[in-house]
Structure 1
Amino acid sequence: MKTIMLVFGTRPEAIKMAPLVKAFQEKKDDFKTIVCVTGQHREMLDQVLDLFGIKPDFDLNIMKQGQDLYDVTSRVLLGMRDVLKVCRPDYLFVHGDTTTSTAAALAAFYQQIPVCHVEAGLRTYDIYSPWPEEMNRLITGRIATYHFSPTLLSRVNLLKENVDGDRIVVTGNTVIDALHWVVGKIAVDAELGKRLAADLERDGYDVERLNGNRRLVLVTGHRRENFGGGFHNICRALKDLSQKYPEVDFVYPMHLNPNVRRPIHEVFGEDLTHLGNMFFIEPLEYLMFIFLMEKSFIVLTDSGGIQEEAPGLGKPVLVMRDTTERPEALDAGTVKLVGTDYNTIVGQVSHLLDDTEAYGEMSKAMNPYGDGKACGRIIDYISDKIATPQPE
């Protein structure tokens, strides 16, 4: 029996790793599954763990007020040193592009433990966009022994970097596995849907408003490269769009970072209540966010994962970034880049609200990120490597 350790620390990582944790746990005759969380996101991480019923074996709990990337990196690295002294897994799994992933991978490398990189091979080829994620994924990719790429393009990126093709497998993205799990959970439980609607109303938005012909634009924002002028432009665009389209609701669950909240208050004022069809609410737990996203008409975001999730629900995505490490979505037509330019944001949102044909083209485009069976492919690959060990 091989020991598998899965390490993650942010909410996006937890969402994408949770179905893989559950899948490994179902193979208890073949694998001993150990979960280590870093707590890079604390409250938001815990919400995902509760939703999927995952109890970590180790919790580094690194989150400190005012910490920077130096703090996060060093705390994860030192914390993982101690964990790996207690428990030496045969394989250590990390996800994507976070500081947790890179520092955990480095800690495993120092003890010569093979690293398995989930969501491997995404690239913008601009180390400062997204920052620090692009460099994180590059470093993690150099450390990793096995690479689980969500798409064929991600595999091609790794092959160009001279990664052994036998160590790369295209799986689809585990976020679609998680999305299917959550949507299915909501669909079969009418009481859960009612509770989510009531909780959301208490948090500041009543989905009953959408029972008529009203439409919803769901907004998220958190990227560091958009801090300052970028977020100020986004807020100006939202203010004018909400006035231009009084029959459309704009809902913005605000990230906790003060660099995100400051420009909101600068544009909309200190009191964010009673703004008509513009709703600023507190961050949503994953289950409630998916519930709201399923009811949305357009998603306006700078997130990476939402570029994969929303098309799975038939929602066009306008990405408030200048680059994306998910060009497959651009090619498929499920997303468009709008940057943080005021005129572009207003123009593209207006276009989708006004042009039925343009909206239909995006909403019906095929999601390039998989069929919800990524976790099974990952486990099959690792099982094959165990049966026929490869030289490290």
Structure 2
Amino acid sequence: MHQYPHTYPPPGRMIHVFVGTKAQLIKMAPLMHELERRNVPYRFINAGQHAATIATLLAQFDLRPPDVTLFSSAGNISSLREGFAWLFRLLWQALIHPAQTRQMVFGGYGGLCFIHGDTATTLISLIMARRAGLSVAHVESGLRSFNIFSPFPEELIRLIAMRFSDLLFAPNEWAYQNLQKMKIRGKAVLAGGNTIIDALAYAQKKASQEGLSFALPGHRYAVMSIHRFETIRVRRRLNRVVQLACSVAERLPLKFILHKPTAHYLQKFGLLRALRDTPRIELLDLQPYLLFVQMLKSAEFVITDGGSIQEETAVLGTPCLILRTRTERRDGLGRNALLAGTNEEVIESFLENFAAYRFPPLYTRREGAATPSASIVTEALRWLDR
């Protein structure tokens, strides 16, 4: 796949792809595939927020190593202390040394920098690109919870990114209309879908080629993945999660994905033993992405507080219970996904009727239809040629 041109564009026409988290790389991988397919040179920048996870994802998505990694670590940033230290160092670099940032981070090129989503890396990449004099394209733009404190700081980061980007790629009509109502200064573009659709199509094809599957006769199970700090840092909320996990395990086997921060707080609050001692609960480390997609696809249902899994299950058609009171995403709602918060009646209703929430997958597209990633690249090249 990696056939790169030996000639580079003029300094003002370079494309930069800036990621830092696992979810960002998964969703931006199809965009990089599309750039390579068109033989368009680009620079790949890794902020290093999820350094260990990204290293394994590169091989799974057949991507070349980053041109520059801003934070080298053997593991992921998994604590608030590590996160603040990382954020402060990169912000200092961007704000105090813009010329050095342009040279070290962007290779001396201008052009267009793709940023994604609503993470700390989103904010860092926006500030660095702006300070270095680049234009900015915000992918997955227009998502809103309409509450600045829920989720925090994601909603605030989204608002900042949308206000200061030049190109804003909305994954759906609802997000596009949100951008229109904000009267943003940049150009809003309807991307025709979330790039997770392209990522899952790629993952499905590669998993099939490698013979990866969780679909075994008679092998029924549920999946649970909880990692948001507002859930795991409050003992009362985390205890509810453990009680729910034990309740699910009475119905069918449960694969509980043990994120490092989640494991830390389960241990801190003395709740980890309850999970370990409950029959039919299997505690699993983070899985390779291709295998994890197969796990989600074949699960009876999924319980999560994460936005990415909400999006993935919406595409896969897997029933999904979302343990949040508010979400900035519409993916799956009214279809395969149910927003439950902590409402016990809603949760119990889902567990009793989860089969009614299964739908056909959405990653198949009609022949000739442009993928979200192709639409984004086409518009970006038009922007550079304007």
- Scaled by the length of structure 1, the TM-score of the pair is 0.83
1:352 is the counterpart of 2:353: yes
**Alignment counterpart, residue 294 of structure 1, candidates 294, 297, 321:** 297
| 8 Å Cα contact 1:301/1:318 also seen in 2 | yes
Secondary structure of residue in 1 paired with 2:307:
coil
Output one character per residue of 1:7-31: Cα deviation in whole Å (capped at 9) or x when no partner.
1111011100111112112222xx3
**Alignment counterpart, residue 334 of structure 1, candidates 299, 320, 336:** 336
- Over 3 Å counting, the alpha-carbon distance change for 1:72 and 1:259 in structure 2 is farther
| 8 Å Cα contact 2:27/2:199 also seen in 1 | yes
Secondary structure of residue in 2 paired with 1:329:
coil
- Over 3 Å counting, the alpha-carbon distance change for 1:231 and 1:113 in structure 2 is same
Measured in 1, the distance between the counterparts of 2:269 and 2:362 equals 36
Output one character per residue of 1:276-328: Cα deviation in whole Å (capped at 9) or x when no partner.
21111111121121121121110111110111111222201111111011135
The aligned residue for residue 255 of structure 1 is: 259
What amino acid sits opposite 1:72 in the alignment? Answer: W
1:317 is the counterpart of 2:323: no
What amino acid sits opposite 2:245 in the alignment? Answer: L
The aligned residue for residue 14 of structure 2 is: 3
Structural mapping, 1:114-133, within 5 Å: 114-133=135-154
| 8 Å Cα contact 2:170/2:188 also seen in 1 | no
Output one character per residue of 1:158-217: Cα deviation in whole Å (capped at 9) or x when no partner.
111102584433331111100000101112333xx2xxx6xxxxxxxxx58x522x5211
**Alignment counterpart, residue 377 of structure 1, candidates 352, 357, 375:** 375
1:364 is the counterpart of 2:359: yes
The aligned residue for residue 192 of structure 2 is: 171
Structural mapping, 1:135-174, within 5 Å: 135-163=156-184, 166-174=187-195
Secondary structure of residue in 2 paired with 1:323:
coil
Measured in 1, the distance between the counterparts of 2:237 and 2:38 equals 46
Measured in 1, the distance between the counterparts of 2:186 and 2:20 equals 29
Superposition deviation, residue 368 in structure 1: 10
The aligned residue for residue 26 of structure 1 is: 37
Secondary structure of residue in 1 paired with 2:113:
strand
What amino acid sits opposite 1:257 in the alignment? Answer: P
Superposition deviation, residue 377 in structure 1: 0.1
1:182 is the counterpart of 2:216: no
The aligned residue for residue 51 of structure 2 is: 42
Measured in 2, the distance between the counterparts of 1:46 and 1:363 equals 33
Regions of 4+ moved over 6 Å? 368-372
What amino acid sits opposite 2:257 in the alignment? Answer: P
Unaligned runs of 5+ in 1: 198-206, 354-358
Superposition deviation, residue 270 in structure 1: 7.1
Superposition deviation, residue 260 in structure 1: 5.7
| 8 Å Cα contact 1:235/1:264 also seen in 2 | no
The aligned residue for residue 247 of structure 2 is: 240
The aligned residue for residue 356 of structure 1 is: none
| 8 Å Cα contact 1:121/1:155 also seen in 2 | yes
- Over 3 Å counting, the alpha-carbon distance change for 1:370 and 1:74 in structure 2 is farther
The aligned residue for residue 280 of structure 2 is: 277
- Over 3 Å counting, the alpha-carbon distance change for 1:104 and 1:78 in structure 2 is farther
Measured in 2, the distance between the counterparts of 1:288 and 1:133 equals 28
Output one character per residue of 1:243-285: Cα deviation in whole Å (capped at 9) or x when no partner.
2x1xx1111111101566416973451782x632111111112
Measured in 1, the distance between the counterparts of 2:340 and 2:220 equals 20
| 8 Å Cα contact 2:78/2:261 also seen in 1 | no
Measured in 2, the distance between the counterparts of 1:222 and 1:25 equals 34
Measured in 1, the distance between the counterparts of 2:153 and 2:331 equals 21
Measured in 2, the distance between the counterparts of 1:352 and 1:136 equals 37
Measured in 1, the distance between the counterparts of 2:55 and 2:134 equals 27
| 8 Å Cα contact 2:135/2:166 also seen in 1 | yes
Aligned length: 358
| 8 Å Cα contact 2:142/2:179 also seen in 1 | yes
Output one character per residue of 1:210-255: Cα deviation in whole Å (capped at 9) or x when no partner.
522x521111011111121222111111112312x1xx11111111
The aligned residue for residue 84 of structure 2 is: 70
Measured in 1, the distance between the counterparts of 2:341 and 2:360 equals 21
- Over 3 Å counting, the alpha-carbon distance change for 1:65 and 1:182 in structure 2 is closer
Aligned identity (percent) is 25
Secondary structure of residue in 2 paired with 1:185:
helix
The aligned residue for residue 230 of structure 1 is: 237
- Scaled by the length of structure 2, the TM-score of the pair is 0.84
| 8 Å Cα contact 1:308/1:369 also seen in 2 | no
Superposition deviation, residue 111 in structure 1: 2.5
- Over 3 Å counting, the alpha-carbon distance change for 1:165 and 1:146 in structure 2 is closer
